[in-house]
A and B are shown apart, each in its own frame.
Chain A
């Protein structure tokens, strides 16, 4: 076989591996989420289908395949079918760009599907394609709840994309590259980016939570408010595809956060003195970091009440956007005027901002803000 054909086949194999891996993770994420939520509410969660409920995802999958697929009369037939495919494809694609280890560490091949010099931009672009899936679904359903839910969610997602994009700029200035592997290597040599960009990380994490429609920003599918938003008219596997897209977006967001801010596939270097070579264990570190983030997502869901829609949009535009811009200019100032200095003073300033922001947010009461507005407004 010619070399190029072998390369293509290897890439194809890796792409299939990533997709199948993500689908399995998604299936078991639903189970783990239900089990964990149950634990947090002092109950048991699914434990009847298979040992410890381990076959529950399989049962769910088989059920959704064999259910009737309803195409509502008012729906736009073609778009109605395409929307879930767009949603799931855009969610699946981004993960291929996450480096899961140093070059040639996966049985002699590279542990990623594609490695772009503009890695971050590509991931941001592809994940935001998910907006199309949601909006097309809302529009194509030809029913009122889905349309409103779709409009709301697209407005929310594009608003929080600004915060996401801007929060990363400080990190890019420090590293000077958008290639994900360069960023991981930089962190291995200089310390995790979280230390120097703690404030930006929190902004990014909040935006990412809103971007993947998780609590407290999951208004899109606010069951009690808008029925199920854009998925009201969907049944059987198409409904499952939307769930899949949402959970996979969550996994990707966790992977992006661990790669950009927590050293990605590299473990902490100081552990090498305890067990030699532990920071180089392939895949393990990335999986551990993703798992921690997923746990935090579930934990937040069990803890926080949902925002109201106006609070949500106000927070995105009036808090996240200016703060992210401020963070960018802060890092720019530091790098421009102290190009050769250590980054630790910057880390201290960021930490102070973070602590100050958290202290302020405990005193922040959205209700009082709302009351002042209803008195003054029309």
Chain B
């Protein structure tokens, strides 16, 4: 039932966005011209496409995020059940975190986290 309520919330929230865009599309003036529709490049005529090569750093950060976010995801059930599990769970967590930190140290020394 609660998940059905989420669906209702989603429909209302998305509906507001669709409604706003729709109303504005009907009410606004439409006087397009070639220069008005040009991409903005500080007043110059645009050169080539924007979707070209970009720094590999973004790719690396996204990959690292996936790795460490999975680590966080593994931590959540452990955290919720931690009081019942006690000392054993603590040392399990330590083992896991040490393994993660080895990877973290490696990327740190590789300079992946340095932005120039």
Contact surface of A with B, Cβ cutoff 8 Å: 7-8, 11-12, 15-16, 18-19, 23, 64-74, 81, 84-86, 88-90, 92-93, 96, 113-116, 121-122, 139, 141-148, 151, 154-155, 158-159, 161-162, 165-166, 169-170, 172-173, 176-178, 227, 232-233, 236-238, 240-241, 309-310, 313-314, 317-318, 321-322, 325, 328-329, 332-333, 335-337, 339, 373, 377
Identify which of B9, B38, B65 contacts A93 (C-beta below 8 A). Answer: B9
Task: Please report which residues of chain B, range 63-92, place their CB below 8 angstroms from some CB of chain A when the two chains form the complex.
Answer: 64-65, 68-69, 72, 75-76, 79-83, 86-87, 89-90
In the assembled complex, how far is the CB of residue A94 from the closest CB belonging to chain B, in whole angstroms? 9
B21 at the interface (CB under 8 A from A): yes
Residues of B close to A313: CB separation below 8 A? 61, 113, 115
Interface of A is mostly: helix
In the assembled complex, how far is the CB of residue A98 from the closest CB belonging to chain B, in whole angstroms? 12
**Across the two chains, which residue of chain A brings its CB closest to B16?**
A19
* Sample of 8 A–B contacts (CB below 8 Å): A70-B36, A74-B49, A116-B3, A122-B6, A158-B62, A166-B75, A178-B76, A322-B104
For the complex, give the distance between the alpha carbons of A38 and B38 in Å.
Answer: 36
**Across the two chains, which residue of chain A brings its CB closest to B115?**
A310
Q: Is the CB of A169 within 8 A of B27?
A: no
Q: A65-B27, A227-B40, A333-B90 are in contact. Are A377 and B116 (CB under 8 A)?
A: yes
For the complex, give the distance between the alpha carbons of A296 and B51 in Å.
Answer: 38
For the complex, give the distance between the alpha carbons of A329 and B82 in Å.
Answer: 12
Q: Is the CB of A317 within 8 A of B58?
A: no
Residues of A close to B58: CB separation below 8 A? 151, 154-155
**Across the two chains, which residue of chain A brings its CB closest to B79?**
A172
Interface residue tally on B, bucketed by range: 35 or more
6 new A-B pairs (CB below 8 Å) besides A147-B54, A154-B62? A72-B39, A113-B9, A143-B46, A159-B61, A236-B24, A237-B24
B20 at the interface (CB under 8 A from A): yes
Residues of B close to A68: CB separation below 8 A? 28-31
Residues of A close to B3: CB separation below 8 A? 114, 116
Q: Which of B57, B64, B79 has the most C-beta atoms of chain A within 10 angstroms of its own C-beta?
A: B79
Q: Is the CB of B28 within 8 A of A69?
A: yes
Q: Is the CB of A178 within 8 A of B80?
A: yes
Residues of A close to B5: CB separation below 8 A? 11, 15, 96, 113-114
Q: Is the CB of A84 within 8 A of B21?
A: yes
Residues of A close to B102: CB separation below 8 A? none
**Across the two chains, which residue of chain A brings its CB closest to B23?**
A65
Identify which of A143, A176, A237, A318 contacts B39 (C-beta below 8 A). Answer: A143
For the complex, give the distance between the alpha carbons of A66 and B83 in Å.
Answer: 57
Residues of B close to A177: CB separation below 8 A? 80
Q: Is the CB of B28 within 8 A of A67?
A: yes
Q: A176-B83, A317-B113 are in contact. Are A237 and B20 (CB under 8 A)?
A: yes
